[in-house]
Structure 1
Amino acid sequence: MPDTILPISEIRVNGVAITGPEIDREVQYHPSETLAEARAAAAHALAVRELLRQACAARGIPLDDEEAAVEALLRAEVAVPEPDDAVCRRYHARNPARFRSADLFAVRHILLPAAPSDAAARDAAKLKAQALIAELADHPGRFADLAREHSACPSAAQGGSLGQVERGQTVPEFETFMVALEPGQLCPVPVATPYGYHVLHLEHRIDGDDLPYEAVRDAIHGFLRDSAWRQAVHQYLQILAGKARIEGIDLGGAETPLVQ
């Protein structure tokens, strides 16, 4: 995506203008932090599409179905070899962390609710969590009873149990403490999240195992094939852009908005 673009009237691909109304219609498909960034992304996408439409026309590919036409163009112009078994095995061997079953955490918590904007409620929730932690330090067997009595989470009905959760299934603040605890450990401090303060206890964890190559072979093959395809399409677009007369926008790093 370009950092800046020239006025809309000056954006042309081989003489074909990208108009303001076209960009305004396209903006909705490019959510960004600012309208200027969204309009730049929309202009960029439309310029790439025009470049591809012209390439289709030059090859005599009908444009009745634009997406199908671009797919036909890329099939004709872009060749990608299939990754063989040796390549897939090397990728598996070099990226062991990518191929593990998920770590599982059996965790209980007590939620003392407080909105992030309510400072008084946050202070009260933190004090209550500290009092519960102190009580549990003396009477660890009371966690389920205290959860049923005090927790605002639906898990209170199960004594605060969230069952088995994986990384990414809880908010980051909660996960940071959860993964740092030892099995059987009560978190010694209240855990602050956007929902309030939590009293947290890790019952046990099951570490994931390395997955054998045979279990992930198809996934690796698909990933490597798709990666090679995207890289080849990117290079093809750079060739098209290099041969075209493009005014008002930089198509460096161009990616097709039609083929995923």
Structure 2
Amino acid sequence: MRVLDLTNAPVPVTVNGITIAPEAIAAEAQNHPMPKGSKPGWAWKAAARALVLREALLQEARTKNIEAAPIELEEGKWETQDEALIRQLLEQAIPAATIDEAALRALYDDAPERFRGPSLFEAAHILFAANPEDAGATLLARQQAEAVLAELKRDPRRFAALAKQFSACPSREHGGMLGQLASGDTVPEFEAALAVMEEGEISKTPLESRYGFHLIRLDARVRGEVLPFSTVLPQLREAQEKTGWVRASRAYIDALAAKTTVTGIDLNEKPEKVEHSAVRKAG
């Protein structure tokens, strides 16, 4: 007769006696990509924690006899019953944020130059394409970019010819010219490089982006004008409201978790970079 040793069997994950199925945790783990350097089991713990908090919120909503009233998030896409219950629970529990316009005015006055309209750029680039996940391709692209940059340092006038010869971007047919660019037209890392370059300058080192490596030439720039406080106030209000809502929702969920009986996972042991993914604020 074979006797199974169950002393080391995993403790099931439960929330006030309700079991979270292992299959549900495994499926949820797909939504929690493991950061580099994380310990084994990170995604499982993050998924289990998210589902435990979600179940605790749903139980609390049912305790309060909330009836789900799903709303349309976008054309043709509606909340699920569970999403509606959680949203309605938080709407009841979390008071509307108080907007402190005096504090927003002080924030603006402290550094108004941060609040500018879109800048305009005229630029050209040479792209050496590489998938960031492919170490070999990334190394090769960097080496090629550095070799071409050395050529440009010897003769900047060859930019267009080198762009046509080496660039992986369709702009190579126009000497690498990208035309007029406004803030937001390019990936953030590219725009950040343009913002600190001098007109007529070629980037001193290859710029790495999600597409590979770029050699950039900034031909012209027109900085956006500082926007008046009245123009940026709606955005500042929205940012303050969202910050207040996130802070209040975290406090509420933490308080709810503290009075919830949970087995199989320690909610006090929070995986790094895990937020309260059990809920998203509508809108």
For the aligned pair, the TM-score class normalised by the smaller chain equals: 0.7 to 0.9
- 59-68 vs 116-125, which moves further: 116-125
Structure 2 counterpart of 1:42: 47
How many Å separate the matches in 2 of 1:143 and 1:221? 46
Structure 2 counterpart of 1:70: 86
Q: How does 1:179-218 map to 2 (within 5 A)?
A: 179-187=195-203, 191=206, 193=208, 200-218=216-234
Q: CA deviation at 1:36?
A: 1.8
How many Å separate the matches in 1 of 2:244 and 2:191? 35
Structure 2 counterpart of 1:59: 64
Contact 2:148–2:162 (CA under 8 A) maintained in structure 1: no
Instruction: Provide, for residues 61-91 of structure 1, a one-character-per-residue CA deviation record: whole Å limited to 9, x for no partner.
Output: 2469211112221222221333153343234
Q: Is structure 2 residue 146 aligned with structure 1 residue 131?
A: no
Q: How does 1:153-164 map to 2 (within 5 A)?
A: 153-164=169-180
* Higher helix content, 1 or 2: 1
- 116-125 vs 177-186, which moves further: 116-125
How many Å separate the matches in 2 of 1:233 and 1:122? 44
Q: CA deviation at 1:55?
A: 0.8
Instruction: Provide, for residues 164-204 of structure 1, a one-character-per-residue CA deviation record: whole Å limited to 9, x for no partner.
Output: 344892584x66765554212345x6636587876543212
Structure 2 counterpart of 1:21: 23
How many Å separate the matches in 2 of 1:120 and 1:241? 50
How many residue pairs match? The answer is 249
Structure 2 counterpart of 1:257: 278
In structure 2, give the amino acid aligned to 1:169. T
The unaligned stretches of length 5 or more in structure 2 are: 1-7, 69-79
Q: Is structure 2 residue 108 aligned with structure 1 residue 92?
A: yes
Quick one: which of 225, 240, 244 aligns to 1:224?
Answer: 240
How many Å separate the matches in 1 of 2:215 and 2:278? 47
In structure 1, give the amino acid aligned to 2:21. T
Specify the SS of the correspondent of 1:29.
coil
Contact 2:11–2:263 (CA under 8 A) maintained in structure 1: no
Contact 1:92–1:220 (CA under 8 A) maintained in structure 2: no
Q: CA RMSD in A?
A: 3.8
Structure 2 counterpart of 1:117: 136
Q: Could you say which structure has the larger radius of gyration?
A: 1
How many Å separate the matches in 2 of 1:30 and 1:124? 35
- TM-score if structure 1 supplies the norm length? 0.74
Q: CA deviation at 1:144?
A: 4.3
In structure 1, give the amino acid aligned to 2:248. A
Contact 1:113–1:125 (CA under 8 A) maintained in structure 2: no
Structure 1 counterpart of 2:186: 169
Q: Is structure 2 residue 96 aligned with structure 1 residue 80?
A: yes
Q: CA deviation at 1:210?
A: 2.4
Structure 1's 206 and 242: CA in aligned 2 closer, same or farther, altered over 3 A? same
How many Å separate the matches in 1 of 2:194 and 2:29? 41
How many Å separate the matches in 2 of 1:75 and 1:197? 46
In structure 2, give the amino acid aligned to 1:37. W
The percent identity for this pair of structures is: 32
Specify the SS of the correspondent of 1:9.
coil
Structure 1's 18 and 68: CA in aligned 2 closer, same or farther, altered over 3 A? same
The unaligned stretches of length 5 or more in structure 1 are: 1-5
Contact 1:74–1:233 (CA under 8 A) maintained in structure 2: yes
